[in-house]
Structure 1
Amino acid sequence: MYRLVIDANKRGLNLNLRELLQYRDLFLILAYRDLRVRYAQTFLGLLWAVIQPLATLVIFTLVFGRAIKVDTGDIPYPLFAVCGMAAWSYFAFVLGQSGNSVISSQEMIKKIYFPRLVIPLSKALVGFVDFLIALLFIVILLFFYNYSPSSNIVFFPFYVVACIVSALSVGIWLSALTIRFRDFQHIVPFLVQFGLYATPVGYPAEIVTSNLPQWAIFLYYLNPLAGIAEGFRWTILGGEMPSQYSYISLIIVLILFVSGLFYFRKVEKIMADIV
């Protein structure tokens, strides 16, 4: 039997990631609960997971593909856009859900002990519903336009993992910060809305960065999903390799993820008192 000892006098930060494995059943239960609640008592049910990205794709096609006429080379615009949307939809969902995740579970936090990190992590699992549907759109459009995936598809798992880590890194930070500063409940929806257009989802990054000085390009790629969205599209559709600046996004993701884990563990000690 697993024996848990909570020492109030223990100093320092210990991630204790092994403890998360011991609470994996709770992790799955929370994810299943969120998935059921998300579509409970809705007329269309899981169809909402199809309608939302489809509506976004139609709007992007009309605005960027038809009105602005973004140049995507020989790649059909809907296919170009949906590849960026696949990465963004997952990131946006985890970002939006993680901010209030701990606050919405405050009654459970006050009553029992469990690693609080399980709560934002469970949101990452629920987000896979949107991610898988976006991938289904990609497959359908590849067949519709008779477009073969590039040989770069071998790097696809790497960018999927990078997308997951990027979503978790920002989500963990927001879930911890929202406990102390409730203003983030209002900031997160703005970040999601602004980030959709600040990230190269419906347009190539070159449109923004082509005439910018190096310092401005560096600032652009501080967006953790800027380089990942580029790489995600490159693995599926081919073309030129992502900009060398895209590696800045990957470095930012690692920094945010590691620092977010330590900050969350620090706040976790007093979470039940301030929630």
Structure 2
Amino acid sequence: MHKLVVDANKKGLRLNLKELFQYKDLFLILAYRDLRVRYAQTALGLVWVFIQPLATLLIFIMVFGRAIKVDTGDVPYPLFAISGMAAWSYFAFVLAQAGDSIISAQEMVKKIYFPRLVIPLSKAVVGLVDFSIGLFLVLILMIIYGFTPSINIIYFPLFLIMAMISALAVGIWMSALTIRYRDFKHVVPFLVQFGLYATPVGYPSSLVMNNLPDWANILYYANPMVGVIEGFRWTLLGQQPPSAYSLISFSIIIILFISSLFYFKKVERIMADVV
């Protein structure tokens, strides 16, 4: 019996992937539409993509770099902070956009059939634009400070994939939960704001590990982005590799992603009726 259930789940997964591939054109259209209208009719346009991370970086420099004087080793603090911000900004964007994506597209959801998962998935592509800007700022600061990228950069794609899966996992969960419980529309901004400081974006994770007991460190690393940001800094800046606790973050990412797909599939049947 257990084998039949597993085989059925695998078959369903294959069919879902095949169906998603059949709607790849819709996926690309949604991503292109979001890119085109995001900064439409704004005076500064794409300049906003630079203003937002630079403003946050300035705040971090004043608070963590100057006031608290966080120790970042041989890495200049602005470079240290922007490398974490690049990863976090991508996660925050996809979470916010994917979490509200089904509600925002409710008219389309009601009128035509297509795999609803296409909607939150398309946000992961749109977020890569901001992420690319973040990496560009990292490169600029590396040039300014004469900092050479680490040889570990060959592992960068792996942590980029983990960042994408992490953002989509939480975003898909939120998009499905928001269908039934509209209160989650207010939870997403709180998660983004709280997570910025609960994640080692402006400070090294060692600062937390050295001042907390083991049980608290385990709880801290339950945040999926802690391990991802550690990996980003290891690949880009050659800092300490992700700690053993990072396995907790990566395990949480996989669990969240798989469970989000199953829950989304369950809710998908009633989406057109309740949005």
Match of 1:14 among 5, 12, 15: 12
Q: Please say if residues 23 and 114 of structure 1, whose CA atoms lie closer than 8 Å, have aligned partners that are also in contact.
A: yes
Is this contact kept in 2: 1:14–1:265, CA < 8 A? Answer: no
Using the size of structure 2 for normalisation, the TM-score is 0.94
Partner residue of 1:128? Answer: 128
Please give the alpha-carbon distance, in whole angstroms, between the structure 2 residues aligned to 1:94 and 1:239: 27
Name the structure 1 match of 2:44.
Answer: 44
Query: Structure 1 unaligned runs (5+)?
Result: 1-10
Indicate conservation of the 8 Å contact 2:99/2:171, yes or no: yes
Q: Could you tell me the percent identity over the aligned residues? A: 69
Counterpart CA distance in 1 for 2:139 and 2:206 is 26
Once the 2 structures are TM-superposed, how far is the Cα of residue 83 of structure 1 from its aligned partner? Answer: 0.6
Within 5 Å, give how 1:1-275 maps onto structure 2.
Answer: 14-15=12-13, 16-275=16-275
Number of aligned pairs?
265
In 2, Cα distance between equivalents of 1:92 and 1:266: 25
Q: Deviation of residue 241 (structure 1)?
A: 1.6
Report if the CA contact (8 A) 1:88-1:201 is conserved: yes
Q: 1:192-227 CA deviation, whole Å, 9 max, x = no partner?
A: 000000000000011112121111100000001011
Q: Which stretch has the larger CA shift, 238-247 or 77-86?
A: 238-247
Could you say which structure has the higher helix fraction? 2
Deviations 1:28-84, CA, capped at 9 Å, x for gaps: 111111112210100011111111111111111111101111000111000000110
How many Å separate the matches in 2 of 1:240 and 1:123?
31
In 2, Cα distance between equivalents of 1:128 and 1:239:
24
Once residues 30 and 122 of structure 1 are traced to their aligned partners in structure 2, the CA distance between those partners, rounded to angstroms, is 6
Q: Distance in 1 between matches of 2:160 and 2:215?
A: 28
Alpha-carbon distance in 2 for matches of 1:143, 1:152: 18
1:242, CA displacement in angstroms? 1.6
CA-atom RMSD, angstroms? 1.2
Is the CA contact 2:30–2:119 (under 8 Å) kept in the aligned structure 1? yes
Q: TM-score, normalised by structure 1?
A: 0.94
Residues 233, 239 of structure 2: 8 Å contact kept: no
What secondary structure, in the 3-state scheme, does the structure 1 residue paired with 2:224 have?
coil
Q: Measure the CA separation in 2 of the matches of 1:222 and 1:266.
A: 25
* SS class of match (1:157): helix
Alignment gaps of 5+ in structure 2: 1-7
Alpha-carbon shift at residue 239 of structure 1 (Å): 2.5
Q: Distance in 2 between matches of 1:191 and 1:202?
A: 17
Could you list the per-position Cα deviations for residues 121-173 of structure 1 after superposition, in whole angstroms to 9, with x for gaps in the alignment? Answer: 01111101110000000110111100101111111110011101100111110
